[in-house]
Structure 1
């Protein structure tokens, strides 16, 4: 399928950068990342997701194709909203059947033609989800046999009605996805009810635990990071790493799995220090913190995916603005990846910063969202929450001198790099 397959020729592809892209994580019952819902906003009008005008919808599809879906979602699936016009169109073919779940909006009115089209696309390998199900309406009943995933808006259903709805849908053997899950309590409720998937940013909310202390593995990494900042001798760094066998093994595993060694297999801590250098070593230690010291499926952590995408996006924004200012770009990366360490540690950010030595501008950005680095962090956060934070996004973007095209391009590079970390454990 090419852009010429719909009226307007290649025009939509030329305007693909006029859209902002956000990806909202979808987790399974083990809280591993399995998919993203892809959300689009028109940079000019602010219109969200799929819009009524077919040409604009074609542009969104062209945008997805141009980005390269693998770059955006990595090994995960991408949920993409579609309305009746998109469902009936030929340009659905822009989306690879093995990488997407087509999410039928609740506004779609069921007709024999709609049912026939869904069956046709199902035979072609596409999977479908029903969006924002709050009751078993007649339309929902007709679509249920054709859907693989049922998305339930948990904010739109009263608790008793939610339990009844889940029971009814589960009887049909469907996979249920709870959307708009924003707190740990909501996640636990949905887990108990039997939901299979969970969408929302509940996992990125700080759960501050009184008197909580860092785990020994976390303390070892924090100590090493502080030694790097203090410019300790390499023999001191190597001794600290070797003193913690788990840290040594997991650092070597991470460095080798991500393939940053130029094809060489790094076999020793000393070799890793030489190949990486201090700045890169500190970066991989920050990643290792989120990966749970590399244990089990830690690289599939949604918190790691969010933190690494933020870090890389801030680094790239800085390099876009200041191409020759490498040290500032490293500080930007640190701001992005450390911005979720209060969640990771279960401590207030002020307490986290009390244990880690950081530059003053990094401190101010993390604690107060102050300064240029603070503005970059706000921009990254606003993009993640594009549905709610849209009015705040454009002013910060303009303040930083970035265009919608700049942001779109940098996001794809950030997503690709973040995905490479998560995919390293595949």
Structure 2
């Protein structure tokens, strides 16, 4: 491939320091996490978002590698947009090719040079994806050298999708439904035969009348009430021990590398002593989402999203208000609670009535106002970067955050979430 010196030389003219990133989940047919599409955007001096071509430039990728690209994706597969210049350059030495899919942007014309370059990179272990509506008649020429075909539900009429998907399945390519926004669209694409699904449909709250919480969820909420009431440790330990699965999950979480315990914790009493009330409250919030994953997969997308959002908000609060010790803990709680309407299938207003919270938390969750509301708006806007990219910059400016600082905090949040979720079940 190429050496480090040539990589540095290639990246110099395109270096771009101030950017932030997002990772949009791609789920398999069981709604378990398969990968992420990584998106990069610039934020310097109020500039417009970086387009997908520049986003795949050597400069941005080199900076992303310095932050730790593998840390941003964990064990998942990464889909990364690439333009012709990027494709033909030597920027691939630092990428984890076994977990990397290069997605050609609209501007790439599949001429002989492009096809040959794709064959060479395929020989080095890279895989390729294209979006069907971007390439039209040229798609047939790309089929021999690609592995994934994406179909944007917002760009293709449903009748086209229903006729094109079965034909593409006969080619042996993996099909990815993109911008899936609700469960009805997910079910339609599932029936048509799509292999993967990209979008936040799994995070949309669906109100279900008569829904009851599971016994474990009820116990977790009761424990949270005991902590809020400053109950004795003996009462908390007794309640944990009554729910065997809860105790096992708590021990798994306590022993995760994300906590950094110096020795193996093997008893509920040890776990509670190690955690303390503040950390116990946090792990209980995580266990609510872990227990809800009825498929038993260790990378529940809702749990991954909730822990990433909460951790990012916590890190932002620490950076912005370092002198206020409890602000970061409250920010984490707001991040976790912001997805409880989906978790419990009930309106957020009902949740904040049942779980006592301070006014600042309530306003952040219901109105997206105040300091915690600003942090939550920023986290949500980054997650929906394709549809909400214009919302990110004003919040960054209001919070006085540079893109570089945000990118570093995001990667830290991604890595922490990956460690937590891996040991959560």
TM-score by length of 1: 0.93
Quote the residue 1:342 is aligned against.
Answer: 341
How many pairs are equivalent?
A: 421
1:48 is aligned to 50
Distance (whole Å) between structure 2 residues aligned to residue 259 and residue 349 of structure 1:
29
Note if contact 2:340-2:348 (Cα within 8 Å) is conserved in structure 1: yes
CA distance in 2, matches of 1:155, 1:263: 50
Gaps of 5+ in 1: none
Cα distance in structure 2, aligned partners of 1:339 and 1:20 = 22
Note if contact 1:6-1:90 (Cα within 8 Å) is conserved in structure 2: no
Residue 188 of structure 1: aligned partner = 187
Cα offsets for 1:120-166 (capped at 9, x unmatched): 000011011112x0398441111111111111112222222212101
Whether the 8 Å contact between 2:49 and 2:389 is mirrored in structure 1 is no
Aligned to 1:291, what secondary structure does the other structure show?
helix
SS of structure 1 residue aligned to 2:304: helix
Matched, 1:290 2:292: no
Q: Deviations over 1:59-104 (max 9, x none)?
A: 2211221121121111111100011111111123342212210011
Partner residue, 1:5 = 7
Moved more, 412-421 or 295-304: 295-304
CA distance in 1, matches of 2:292, 2:190: 26
Question: In structure 1, what is the Cα distance between the partners aligned to 2:353 and 2:163?
Answer: 48
Work out whether residues 86 and 92 of structure 1, in 8 Å CA contact, stay in contact via their aligned partners in 2.
Answer: no
Which residue of structure 2 lines up, in the alignment, with residue 103 of structure 1? 103
1:292-332 CA-to-partner distances (Å, cap 9, x unmatched) read 26766343111111111111111111111122322111001
Correspondence for 1:422: 421
Provide the residue aligned with 1:371 in structure 2. 370
Q: CA deviation at 1:52?
A: 5.7
Q: Which moved more, 1:240-249 or 1:117-126?
A: 240-249
Preserved CA contact (<8 Å) 1:49 1:81 = no
Q: Which segment drifts farther, 134-143 or 201-210?
A: 134-143
Q: CA deviation at 1:423?
A: 2.9
The answer to which of 92-101 and 235-244 deviates more is 92-101
Partners of 1:261 and 1:275 within 8 A in 2? no
The alpha carbon displacement at 1:390 in A equals 2.0
Report the secondary structure of 1:98's partner residue.
Answer: helix
Report matched runs for 1:310-325 at 5 Å. Answer: 310-325=309-324
CA 259–401 in structure 1, closer or farther in 2 if over 3 Å, else same: closer
Q: Tell me, what secondary structure is at the counterpart of 1:93?
A: coil
Structure 1 residue 50, shift from structure 2 partner = 3.0
The answer to whether structure 1 residue 58 and structure 2 residue 58 are counterparts is yes
Q: Per the alignment, in what secondary structure is the counterpart of residue 310 of structure 1?
A: helix
Task: Call closer, same or farther: CA 1:189–1:341 in 2, change over 3 Å.
Answer: same
The structural deviation recorded for 1:197 is: 0.3
* Cα 1:291/1:182, change in 2 over 3 Å: same
Query: For structure 1, which segment, 36-45 or 4-13, has the greater mean C-alpha deviation from structure 2 after superposition?
Result: 4-13
The secondary structure found in structure 1 opposite 2:57 is helix
Distance in 1 separating the partners of 2:130 and 2:389: 25
Moved more, 271-280 or 209-218: 209-218
Residue range with higher mean Cα deviation, 413-422 or 332-341: 413-422
Conserved in 1, the CA contact under 8 Å of 2:258 and 2:420?
A: no
Report deviation, 1:261.
Answer: 5.7
Report the alpha carbon displacement of residue 425 of structure 1 after superposing the two structures with TM.
6.3
| Structure 2: runs of 5+ lacking an equivalent | none
Structure-2 separation of matches of 1:3 and 1:227: 59
Deviation, structure 1 residue 355: 2.2
Give the SS at the match of 1:129: strand
Structure 1 pair 52/368, CA: closer, same or farther in 2 (3 Å)? closer
Q: Check whether the contact 1:72–1:416 (CA below 8 A) recurs between aligned residues.
A: yes
Partner of 2:214: 215
Once residues 423 and 415 of structure 2 are traced to their aligned partners in structure 1, the CA distance between those partners, rounded to angstroms, is: 12
CA contact under 8 A between 1:207 and 1:346: conserved in structure 2? yes
Give the structure 1 partner of residue 118 of structure 2: 118
The Cα of 1:118 is off from its aligned counterpart by 0.5
- 1:141-220 matches, within 5 Å, as 141-220=140-219
Q: Does the Cα contact within 8 Å between 2:289 and 2:303 map onto a contact in 1?
A: yes
